[in-house]
Structure formats: structure tokens, C-alpha cells
Structure 1
Amino acid sequence: MTTADIQHEETGGKTVTVMVDGEPVEVPKHTTPDAVLGLAGIDVATHYLVRITGRQQHTFAGRGQEEITVHERETFVSVSTGPTPTA
């Protein structure tokens, strides 16, 4: 059982659909940034989550296990922690 499965059970199955990197992802309303990434199919070992609110960005770098509440249609992006390729 994954962290997301456990949290899904703890919240009584309440889920919302959020956007992660432009793709819809169904997640528990009460979750963690790492669980959101995992449900989006993104490797938490090499990425962290950023919440986009208007023009503001709220990073969860280094806080992947922090409990957060997500809302229907919220927007998130994943950010790679790996090296940035240069041309």
C-alpha cells in the first residue's frame, strides 16, 4: 500500500482533481507533495512539487512529506533536482 493509498483511506476517499504539469491528476484532498508527484507518475527522488497560485509559486522543495490540503483545479508543476543541460 502506498502513502497515497493510506491517505486516501484516512480522508474517507475525498479526492479532487488537480493539474500537474498540465495533466489532470486525481489526488486525496489531504495529502503530501510527494504523494501528488507519485500519483502523477513523477519520481519523487528527482523532483519536487511547486504550487502555482496566480503569479505566485509556493515550493515544497525539501518538504515532500509535509501534509497539505489541495483544492479542485489547483495547478502544480514538478521541478527536476537533477543537472540542467546546457547547449
Structure 2
Amino acid sequence: MKQMPPEYYQLLEELQTADFVIVDLTLYLDTHPDDANAIQQYNQFVKQRKQIKKAFEERFGMLTNFGYSYSHYPYEWPEAPWPWQV
């Protein structure tokens, strides 16, 4: 397994944390759609996740495929390691 710099793991952990909160808030909002505070938190974490994802991909390349991430030149998806390989 390829060892990546500490920032790689830090950003990946921040993404996982934001994803967890977003999923949790989504489940909560399914049953509490009028909770303005939860909606605000949800939107805050979605914005935060986009910023973290952008920072990660600018530094380390694509996180996902099939049109969910931009690619540098040359097309970088075939390059390892992929996030689940570290």
C-alpha cells in the first residue's frame, strides 16, 4: 500500500466526517422536514464538504468517477492510489 502525505489522510477524514453528518441530517430531515436549524446545518455541511473535496482533488486528484469529479490532464482516474486503497 502506497504511503501518502499526512494532508491526504487529514482531508480524507474531514470528508468522511462531513459525509457522516450529511447522511445523519438527511435521515433526520426525512422525519422532521420543518426543522430550520437542521436544514441550516445540512446546508452548512454540504458547502463544507464541497470545499474539502475541491481542496483534496486539487492536491491529490479525482475522488470519484463517472462525472462527479473534474480531471487534470492527462485523465487521472487510472492513477492509483484510489481513496479505498490507502
- In the superposition, the TM-score normalised over structure 2's length comes to 0.21
> Of Structure 1 and Structure 2, which has the larger fraction of its residues in strand?
1
Give the greater-gyration-radius structure (CA): 2
